[in-house]
């Protein structure tokens, strides 16, 4: 079956555009979810706490599916631990979080030990346990103390630094951009010392909750209630160069910002501690990238023409689908626990790895479009050769 010249040209144009739009190192970012058998608590736990916060992650297990011997709560009496009856005061609908405490509440001054043992029942984490990626048994103990909600926190802010740092990106898991940033950390008052692991933390900037998202999959690196891997620290950053619209969406504007830090007991509306407002300035100064260093167009030279749908490429929005916009898949599930970490049970363990891509240390799978059978420039070369053949036939 022969195709006329117009049909050949119509078939070649999309191929030419594909060759232009897909560089050799183009990558797409996806995140996979893994199990975690972790009890989120510090050395001390407030008497008003709902209980020990057990974070399972992965697929999660419904409360009714937890074996009778899987969870054990004990109280230290005369130098020895004795089993006490416990209750689950909360369970996440997907079973990723459970909160356990003694029936009748905690005794101030007493020490309790909580054990979560995944051996012998279907937790959905068998693969991780067999490969020694997580411990089958998690144990935590904490002293119960009395606290009041009147103490003040302190917000410590570092000196400003201007350099390239990582920001989240929908095109690849992360990208580095020139930025001015300061790190803000939370200092607890004396009466809350030892509760660093038991509290959840929040930073608000100009009245809005804020966390520096250095990676599209960053939420997998922090436990519920933490700001980052160090738990009590986050970064305030503004970009000092123009960036693509699919990256660095959480960057702050240059200028002055009002910052407040707070800590609270999970699931408690009473126990919340805050700091006085602190004014923080982010100033790029002369660090802004000049136009001559941005590829001559005033746009950053990213090494490729841009994402599909860029008007400068002359691509008709009708080719992008009904909405005229590319679905970058960047939307993250809202956290049912009121913390910074999305629901870790939204996807089965290891789901998200794709042939042709590699996994980085942050739990991201970067899928190479070129590796999927579309090498850079191949489509363009074939299209040009096809056009050359048409010219010879006209002669």
Q: Could you tell me which of 26, 43, 27, 37 has the C-alpha nearest to residue 60? A: 37
Q: Could you tell me which of 293, 284, 303 has the C-alpha nearest to residue 163? A: 284
Helices (H), 69-117: none
Q: What is the chain's mean pLDDT, rounded?
A: 74
Q: Is the pLDDT of residue 392 over 60?
A: no
Task: Provide the pLDDT for residue 27.
Answer: 57
Q: Is 126 helix (H, G, I), strand (E, B) or coil?
A: helix
Contact by Cβ (8 Å): 294, 301: yes
Domain boundaries, the chain: 5-31+330-394, 35-145, 154-293
- Summarised one tens digit per residue, pLDDT across range 4-34 is 444 434 444 444 444 444 444 445 677 777 7
217 or 145: which carries more pLDDT confidence?
A: 145
Q: Is the pLDDT of residue 309 over 60?
A: no
* Stretch 348-364: mean pLDDT: 43
Considering only 2-16, 17-31, 61-75, 258-272, which range has the smallest mean pLDDT? Answer: 2-16
- Summarised one tens digit per residue, pLDDT across range 177-209 is 999 999 999 999 998 999 999 999 999 999 999
35-145 domain in CATH 2.60.40.3710? yes
At residue 244, φ and ψ (nearest 5 deg) are -60, 155
Q: Is the pLDDT of residue 276 over 90?
A: yes
* Stretch 112-118: mean pLDDT: 95
d(CA 62, CA 249): 35
Kindly give, in sequence order, each residue whose CB lies less than 8 Å from that of residue 126, ignoring residues fewer than 6 positions away.
none
pTM above 0.85, yes or no: no
Q: Is the pLDDT of residue 226 over 90?
A: yes
Task: Provide the pLDDT for residue 150.
Answer: 82
Q: Could you tell me which of 15, 17, 23, 14 has the C-alpha nearest to residue 371? A: 23
Task: Provide the pLDDT for residue 125.
Answer: 82
Edge-to-edge, what's the strand order for the sheet holding 27-31?
27-31, 364-368, 357-359
**Hey, which of 37-46, 359-368, 375-384 has the most confident mean pLDDT?**
37-46
Helices (H), the chain: 5-21, 126-130, 378-394
Q: Whose structure tokens read 């100009």?
A: 206
């Amino acid at each position: 079956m022969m195709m006329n010249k117009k049909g050949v040209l119509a078939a070649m144009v999309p191929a030419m555009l594909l060759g232009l739009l897909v560089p050799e190192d183009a990558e797409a970012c996806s995140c996979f979810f893994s199990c975690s058998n972790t009890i989120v608590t510090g050395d001390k736990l407030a008497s008003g706490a709902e209980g020990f916060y057990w974070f399972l992650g992965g697929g999660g297990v419904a409360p009714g599916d937890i074996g009778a011997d899987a969870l054990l709560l004990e109280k230290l009496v005369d130098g020895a631990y004795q089993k006490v009856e416990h209750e689950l005061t909360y369970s996440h609908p997907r079973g990723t979080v459970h909160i356990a405490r003694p029936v009748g509440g905690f005794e101030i001054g007493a020490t309790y030990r909580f054990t979560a043992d995944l051996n012998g029942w279907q937790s959905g984490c068998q693969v991780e346990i067999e490969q020694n990626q997580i411990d089958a048994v998690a144990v935590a103990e904490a002293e119960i103390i009395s606290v009041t909600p009147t103490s003040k926190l302190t917000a410590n802010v570092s000196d400003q630094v201007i350099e390239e740092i990582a920001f989240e990106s929908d095109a690849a898991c992360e990208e580095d951009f020139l930025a001015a940033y300061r790190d803000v950390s939370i200092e607890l008052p004396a009466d809350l010392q030892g509760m660093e692991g038991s509290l959840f933390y929040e930073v608000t900037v100009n009245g809005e909750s804020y966390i520096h998202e250095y990676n599209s999959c960053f939420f997998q690196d922090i436990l519920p209630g933490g700001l980052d891997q160090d738990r009590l620290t986050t970064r305030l950053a503004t970009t000092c160069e123009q960036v693509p619209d699919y990256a660095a969406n959480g960057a702050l504007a240059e200028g002055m910002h009002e910052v407040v830090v707070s800590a609270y007991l999970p699931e408690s509306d009473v126990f919340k501690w805050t700091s006085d407002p602190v004014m923080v300035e982010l100033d790029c100064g002369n660090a802004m990238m000049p136009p001559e260093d941005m590829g001559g167009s005033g746009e950053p030279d990213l090494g490729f023409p841009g994402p599909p749908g860029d008007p400068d490429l002359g691509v008709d929005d009708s080719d992008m689908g009904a909405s005229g916009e590319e679905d970058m898949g960047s939307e993250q599930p809202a956290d049912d626990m009121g913390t910074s970490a999305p629901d870790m049970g939204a996807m089965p363990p290891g789901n998200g790895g794709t042939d042709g891509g590699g996994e980085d240390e942050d739990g991201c799978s970067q899928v190479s479009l070129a590796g999927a059978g579309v090498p850079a420039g191949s489509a363009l070369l074939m299209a040009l050769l096809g056009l050359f053949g048409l010219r010879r036939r006209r002669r």
